[in-house]
Amino acid sequence: MPKKTTRRTNNNSTSATTASSTNPIPTARPKNIQHPQEDYKPGFHVQEKSVFKTQKGLSEDVVRQISAHKNEPTWMTDFRLKAYATFLKKRMPPWGADLSTINFDDIYYYLKPVNQQGRTWNDIPDEIKSTFDRLGIPQAERRYLAGVGAQYESEVVYHSISKHLEDKGVIFMDTDQALHKHPEIFRKYFSTIVPPADNKFAALNSAVWSGGTFLYVPAGVHVELPLQAYFRINAEKMGQFERTLIIAEEGSSVHYVEGCSAPSYSSESLHSAVVEIVVKKGARVQYTTIQNWDKKVYNLVTKRAQAFQDATMFWLDGNLGSKITMKYPSVYLMEPGARAEILSLAFASDGQHQDAGGKAIHVAPNTTSRIISRSISKRSGRSSYRGTLEVHRGATGVKSHVVCDALLLDKESRSDTYPTMKVEEASATVEHEATVRKISEEQLFYLQSRGLTEDAARGMIVNGFVEPIVKELPMEYAVEMNRLIEMEMEGSIG
């Protein structure tokens, strides 16, 4: 891979200099976590070139503007307005992380960077392309990806689907487009899994949603390669409200991967997404997220799936960045034979609070669930596992197993576990266990006696600790994850 060189200005001012359209100049300082791509330092941004931006803050007017700009059908405009009214009525969650510093009036809710969506990489403006290049989608890899969707600001700028997928009838496009091109399927499932009234942030998303992925897999179709999408928050005080809808028809299977990155800014950003997934009879959906938002971002997400007969829903949730994350991927097991697997990885460092976990709701008999959570807290970071396991009346023969392990690296670190089990059927077998500990002295001693430095030994142990989750990631993410963890572990002593 050719080595890329970083270009820097000579002056040390952090204000954005006007960039030429071909050579954007990074202006922000690099942060602790280094992306394994050598020259990429998360925290850079390119000079914003917006085309349409709503005024700061939220109002009925802003909601109408967004809908009008997207040329949406009346039913969607009405839906948004109703959701906005719900948002105003709903209160902030009385539990979880501290959200008191969010100022809803101080955010831009919509920004559209280019007029047309490109078909291939070459159609995209250079400066935006450079952003993706820096995120590390090497040219050579594109062949191996079945499709890549990338969201810049609030619109999906680039989306390409290989002919292979199209021939199979797989629909993979941004949610805005899907509303126009596939209204019947869209309307059938949209907001049926997460209604606006579910919680305050679902209501907010329902009112101002923009972008996100719409993925429809027809019956019997197996999509072998993971489908990926990248997100970026780039403008100052920009919110991200993507709405993702995935429908897997009977007997189909697909793996969707979501990885995020956001540059550094002096004020907070808000990310409040909603993901709805329907897994029909015998189908399998895996949804993998590696979240590495800048440490100023509030990441408040509602992710929910419904699994039907003999279907499997697999959530793999990696939370590394953001200032505060509140996210609990859930699976509702609606029919017999349905299965839920939730793997949650959280790494909280200085000033971060990762409040994550998972929920499995057993509505039907003979359903199973497994939740594995691994969390690491470093310096003053706080990692919390929050989960719910419910077995409803009539759901006989349920088996569930939840294991949460937490690693505390320093004296100032904090770990919490808040699991809830509600069982209303005697024939259920529900097991939960959790441990919190620090890195074992014996393990450290052993590795050091083999000649490793303490840092290297710690890095190895932590990578081993997260192995059950990392091994389920697509290879390039697994490598990235291991490197990110090693880098985080460097200098973790003293």
Partner 1 sequence: MPLSTAAPQAPHKKAPTAPSAPKIIFRTDGRSETLSLAAGESLLYVFFTQHVGGATNATAGTPTPVAPATAAVGDAKDQELKFILQGRQAHIEVIGIDVARTGAAKVKLTIEHAQGDTRSQAQVKSVLGGNAHGEVHGLIKIDKGADGSDAYFAHRTLLLANAAGKEQPHNHTVPALEIEANEVKAGHASTTGTFDIMDIFYLLTRGLSEEQAQQLVLEGFVLSALEKIADVTTREQAIKAAETRLAQLQEIR
Residue with tokens 């997404």, as numbered in its chain: 273
Q: Is residue 75 at the binding interface for partner 1, with CB under 8 A as the rule? A: no
Instruction: Report phi then psi at 178, rounded to 5.
Output: -60, -35
Three-class SS of residue 86? helix
Distance CA 235, CA 123 (A): 22
CB of 133 or CB of 410, closer to partner 1: 410
189 lies in the site for partner 1, by CB under 8 A: no
Of 219, 370, 418, 483, the one binding partner 1 (CB under 8 A) is 418
Q: Is 28 in the site for partner 1 (CB under 8 A)?
A: no
18-26, 279-287, 311-319, 431-439 -> range binding partner 1 (CB under 8 A): 431-439
Q: φ, ψ for residue 203 (rounded to 5)?
A: -65, -40
Check residue 47 for interaction with partner 1 (CB under 8 A).
Answer: no
Looking at beta carbons only, is 149 or 459 nearer to partner 1?
Answer: 459
CA 313 to chain centre: 16
Pairing between β-strand 330-333 and β-strand 297-307 as defined by DSSP bridges = parallel
Nearer to partner 1, 251 or 381 (CB): 381
Looking at 441, 471, 475, 494, which residue binds partner 1 (CB under 8 A)? 441
- Whether 416 contacts 384, CB under 8 Å: yes
Among 170, 273, 428, 485, binds partner 1 (CB under 8 A): 428
- Candidate ranges 60-68, 119-127, 268-276, 438-446; the one touching partner 1 (CB under 8 A): 438-446
Interface residue with partner 1 among 437, 464, 467, 493 (CB under 8 A) is 437
Q: Which tokens belong to 49? A: 């070139």
Least gap, CB of 254 to partner 1 (angstroms): 34
| Shortest separation between residue 385's beta carbon and partner 1, angstroms | 9
Could you say which residues in the range 452-471 bind partner 1, by CB under 8 A? 452-454, 456, 460
- Do the Cβ atoms of 194 and 204 come closer than 8 Å? no
Q: Is 18 in the site for partner 1 (CB under 8 A)?
A: no
DSSP 247: E
Beta strands in 14-61 (DSSP E): 52-53
Give the pair of three-digit tokens for residue 451.
């000649």
Q: Under the criterion CB under 8 A, does residue 444 sit at the interface with partner 1?
A: yes
Residue 84 tokens read as: 């906005």
Residue recorded with tokens 């497994």? 370
Residue 184 sits in the site that holds partner 1 (CB under 8 A): no
Q: Does the protein bind partner 1 through residue 448 (CB under 8 A)?
A: yes
* Residue 39 binds partner 1, judged by CB under 8 A: no
Establish if 429 lies at the interface with partner 1 (CB under 8 A).
Answer: yes
Q: What does the buried/exposed string (b/e) look like for 403-436 if buried means 16 or more CB atoms within 10 Å of the residue's CB?
A: ebbbbbbbeebbbebebeeebebeebebebebeb
Burial class (CB in 10 A: 0-12, 13-18, 19+), 90: middle
What does residue 366 show for φ and ψ, rounded to 5 degrees?
55, 40
Shortest distance in whole angstroms from residue 471 CB to partner 1: 21
How many Å apart are CA 76 and CA 387, to the nearest integer? 33
Residue 421 within binding range of partner 1, rule CB under 8 A: yes
Which of 288, 312, 417, 482 binds partner 1 (CB under 8 A)? It is: 417
Structure tokens at 355: 């409040």
Q: Which helix (H) or strand (E) holds 126?
A: helix 126-135
Residues 356-415 that bind partner 1 (CB under 8 A): 393, 406, 408-415
Is residue 451 close enough to count as binding partner 1 by CB under 8 A?
yes
- Relative to beta strand 147-152, strand 155-161 is antiparallel
Q: Does 442 bind partner 1 (CB under 8 A)?
A: yes
Tell me the window of 123-131, 206-214, 306-314, 429-437 that interacts with partner 1 (CB under 8 A): 429-437
Using rule CB under 8 A, residue 424 touches partner 1: yes
Token pair listed for 175? 């949610």
Least CB distance to partner 1 at residue 97 (A): 14
* Residues near partner 1, by CB under 8 A: 393, 406, 408-438, 441-442, 444-445, 448-449, 451-454, 456, 460
